[in-house]
Each structure stands twice: as C-alpha cells, then as structure tokens.
Structure 1
C-alpha cells in the first residue's frame, strides 16, 4: 500500500470518528389518559356506584320471571297460560340541601307470546318527602299471600304525594289521576282521587291504614292491614269498606281477610289464607251494577308456598278457591320462578 493510499484511508477513518452518528428516532409512547374507575357509593345502601365524573349514585336491579297460570279463561278459552317477564330498575340518588334527590325508572316487558309488550312501569322524582310521577299507590300493598283481593283495578297512577317519615312511622297525602279505574256508564275514565295513608311498626306489630276518595264517582274507601309475629310465623289481618263502587276498591262493599305466614324452614314459607266479601261484584271490569245493593256475598280460601332455591332464585306456587253467591265457584293458581338481581 503506497503512502497516498494510507493517508486517504486514515483521513476517512478520522472523518468517520469525528462525525456524529444519527440513529432512527426512538418511539416514545404517549402518556395514557387518566381513567376514572367506577367507585362504590355506600351512602345509600348496597349496590350503588358513582356515575363517572359526577357525584350521583346509581343502582341497577330487577328480576326475570317465568310463570304458568291455571284457571277459567286464562287465555281466550284456554284454562292455562304461560308468560315471561323481564324488569329492570334504575335508581339514581344524590345529596342536596333538601336531602337525597331520588329518581327512579322501572321498565317492564311481559312476553306472553312471540309479540311482547314493554311498559314504563314506574318513573318518579322524590325529594324532601315529595314524590311526583308514575308510581304505585298505598293500595298496591296487600297481605303476603296470593289469596286476598284488597284493591281493585289499577294501583299505578300519575300522582303527586307528600309522605312524612320518622323512624318506624310514616303518614302522607296523595293526589292521583284515576284513568284505569271504575267509572259509571256514560262517563269518562279520567278523574281525580285523593288518598291519605299512615303506617308503621311497633315491636312485633306493624300496620297500615289508608282512606281514599274518588271525586268523579263521589265514593270513597278505607282499608286497614296489620301484622303480628306469633310463634314461627306472622299473622296478617285486613279489612276494607267502600261507600260505593269507585276506582280504589269496588270488589265488594266490605271484606275481611286473614292469613298465617308460617316460616317452615329458612327457605320455605307456607301461607294459608281466607277472605270473606260482603255484597260481592263478580266482574269488576263491567260498569254494572252501579251499586252494591242486592248483591250476594262470596268467600275464598287458598294456600301459597314460597321457596328460596338459592340466593336470588325463588319459586312460588299458589292455589285458591272462590265461591260467590251470584256466580260459579272458581279454582285458580299459578307457579312462578323468579331470578332477582
């Protein structure tokens, strides 16, 4: 190798050593966006969580139900009918200067055949004891078994209600729109009702007393229910009276009912029950008769069995017999499976 070649090679090497070497730019991962995980909200009981980005607590619950009914003309001329129900409830709560602000939405779908029916079962706002919206009245409460008839027609109304609560006692007044109840021939079903109610618990005894007035029919009804713990179960007693046929109660002029809910095991409750009706209306869907005068009486007996299969899965079966003076006796019942969540 001559001197010239050596010099050129050395110069190239020095140039390479003295020149910066540029590698490919490194890939830098972007900073992850902060994620707000769902937080448990225990201020209002179990099952609530904070809606991300808010101070509102939300609870989602509901149930799935399958049931088979038996009795005269359950579906057309068929003596039995099966149906499936799905219900979901959304309950939102947040603190305000007036106390908890509650909003409830309940959606229900009744699948009786290939076509299903979805309804808004309840939807209301509740704050400081005032409730406004679509919700069930106090008349929807009844004894724990399935034998009694202690309300008539629809107990779900668009209403505004104030209810005072203190410990185990409550009292309130409600103004109800009565669109699905009884009305006399030639009149419309859109009228107004006023109801007052109170109830509570004292030791082993609990009670409820309600009175309501149907302004369109100019008739009223009162009802009382009481429970007392006796032995391995609970006795339930109820009585109702109506001055005339109205949207709150028109099954009979008066009635008394009794049951005993026997807690046979931790999972099984057996409830025999009986009810007597004075001046019994055999068809409450008919506008006639317009009064209770001249009607015969009726009585009913039945038994209901409740069984908790596992947590959140329940079975219920009931059979009831009704014998009215003015119509044929009827035997009916149902079997139900229900999964709550």
Structure 2
C-alpha cells in the first residue's frame, strides 16, 4: 500500500468516527409590547395620547388653491394662482395650574414651482391665561365676509399676554413687538418722498374685551403704538337676524400706527345670509374717513391724516361647502377712493381641511 492510499484511508476513518454536531438553535427575541395610540377626549375631538406620555396631541391643517384677480396681483399680470399647505400641532397636558398648551403652525406657500417659502405661522405656549410666543392679536379678528378692512397691517407678533375667560366673557392685555409695523414720516422738501421720523417700532400695548349674549356677540379692541405715539380703538358686534347674521364695526385711529393706519376712521357692515345648509352669501360695505390707503410691513406712512380724502368699498363673498371638510369660496371687492383710482379685486378658492 503506497503512502497516498494510507492518507486517504486515515481521512475516511477520521470522518466516520467524528460525531455530527447539530447547528445551534435560533432563539427568537421576545417581542416588545406594543402601546397602541389612545384617544384623548379631555380636550375635545381629534386629540390622542403621545405613546408613553400623558400629553395629548392634535394634528390639523388645510390645503388651499387660490386664483387672485385684479390689477398687478401677479406682477405684470392681472391674475395669479397660489397654493398653500398648513399644518398645526397642538399639545396639551394637565398641570396644577390648569392645561399647559403648546401650539406650532407651519405654513408652506407656492406662487409657482420656483417661488416658494416655508414660514412659522405661529408658535406659542399657554397656561393659566398667560400666553407667550408668536401668535395673532385681537386685531386679526374681523367680520364674516371679505369686505371689511378694520385690522392691523401686521397682526402676527412676538407677544406676551394675559387673558381672563369666564364662560361667555373674556378680557385681556398684551405687550407686542412691532418692529415689522409701519413708520410715521414727513415729506422731504427736496425729494418729495416720505422719510421715517424714527427707527423701527419697538413695542405696543393692546387690549381685547369680548363675549356673547344669546344671539349677540361683541368685541372691543385697542392698541397704543409707543414709537409712533398714536393708537387705535375698534368695536364690532354681530347679531342673528332673519336668515343670516348682521355684523357691524367701527374703528378710530388717532394717527397712522401699527394697529390701524388705513384711515382716521371707518365703519363697516356685512350680512352673512345662510341661504342653505351649504351656501352662505355675504354682501358688505365700508366707508373710510380721511383714507390714506393700505400699507404693508415696514412701510412709511404720513404722520397724520390731514388733507386725505374719503373712500368707500363694496363687496360680495360666496361660500359653498362641496362636501365635509371641502369648500369653495369666491369674493369680489370694489374700492373707490377720492384721491386715487378705483380698483376691483377678487379671488376664487378651493380648500380641503383636516
């Protein structure tokens, strides 16, 4: 027997004598217990518990498509289509001082595919009547339709406020940062242009009082612009009459300021007609005394209303609910100032809320 045969025979004998070892058993890990989302009905519909916490969260928002029409609404064009998506997160939890609330609102706007922006529309905390952060003031409130022009140039501020609420009544006071408001100025005798008197508006103080009494609701709002040293006050109310709701409002401004700068005074009326369960028709009218026109954030305005003419405005707004959470709105407004050209503007909107 040669050496090769000896090696092969030895290898075969070793393999035959070696026991076959089974593979190690695979032991599956115990599955983690699943905590399903629980409904939180303590704060109303739509809230659920964040898993593992006692904090309730609500997610809501809307998608809006709108076509604006009017002179120069789209640059050199007389029409412009815009799209918006908005998402709101509201978190609530119980504390010894009452519910602790936190709100974040993100807004995404698209004028077209290449002109888009994402903004923080609101972000604030709220507890025991105190609110601090970025939120809309009482001056953002208005009547039912789209005709009334009785609000601030900018109604979203970094603010701190306290609001007392008791059933059908509330009263509050706020301190507002107004750096993106309007600036009073004087006419430069050489250039004829308005020149701001001071730098940015730093602060304002506002108050709001309102409530309901049966079919009647009311609100009184005021604000003092510290840097411009002028303020404004506004009263408005609604009452159910016949097939709709009548809304009336009046505003007075001691001088152009960040709370109201369109005119020295104005009165407005609207009647929201509930034509059917799905259709609402709202005609409106407004008259301005000593009208200087609408301003924008950071605009310079005259230091008073002297020499300004009057203006009037009429409009019609139609709301139609197509299905639940989906509606259409169309609005047209006509403005005729004494010291300027008349104009007609409007829009058509589709909006899906969730």
Deviation at 1:93, TM superposition (A): 0.3
- Confirm whether residue 232 of structure 1 aligns to residue 260 of structure 2: no
Q: Deviations over 1:26-80 (max 9, x none)?
A: 6554322111111111100000010111000000000000000011111222111
Deviation at 1:283, TM superposition (A): 4.6
- Tell me: CA distance 1:55–1:34, structure 2 relative to 1, closer, same or farther (3 Å): same
SS of alignment partner, residue 45 of structure 2: coil
The match for 2:227 is 216
- Confirm whether residue 245 of structure 1 aligns to residue 256 of structure 2: yes
Deviation at 1:25, TM superposition (A): 7.3
The match for 2:51 is 52
Aligned positions of 1:156-305 closer than 5 A:
156-184=156-184, 185-285=196-296, 286-305=299-318
CA distance in 1, matches of 2:33, 2:301: 68
Task: Give the TM-score normalised by the residue count of structure 2.
Answer: 0.88
The match for 1:103 is 102
- Tell me: CA distance 1:154–1:31, structure 2 relative to 1, closer, same or farther (3 Å): same
Q: Deviations over 1:112-142 (max 9, x none)?
A: 1223100000000000000000000000000
Deviation at 1:291, TM superposition (A): 1.0
The match for 1:13 is none
CA distance in 2, matches of 1:115, 1:100: 40
Deviation at 1:195, TM superposition (A): 0.6
The match for 2:142 is 142
CA distance in 1, matches of 2:93, 2:138: 25
5+ residue gaps, structure 1: 1-21
* Superposition RMSD in Å: 1.4
- Tell me: CA distance 1:336–1:24, structure 2 relative to 1, closer, same or farther (3 Å): same
The more displaced of 313-322 and 279-288 is 279-288
5+ residue gaps, structure 2: 1-20, 185-195
The match for 1:79 is 78
Q: Check whether the contact 2:289–2:311 (CA below 8 A) recurs between aligned residues.
A: yes
CA distance in 2, matches of 1:161, 1:339: 32
Deviation at 1:23, TM superposition (A): 8.6
SS of alignment partner, residue 38 of structure 1: coil
The match for 2:91 is 92
CA distance in 1, matches of 2:209, 2:66: 33
CA distance in 1, matches of 2:84, 2:136: 18
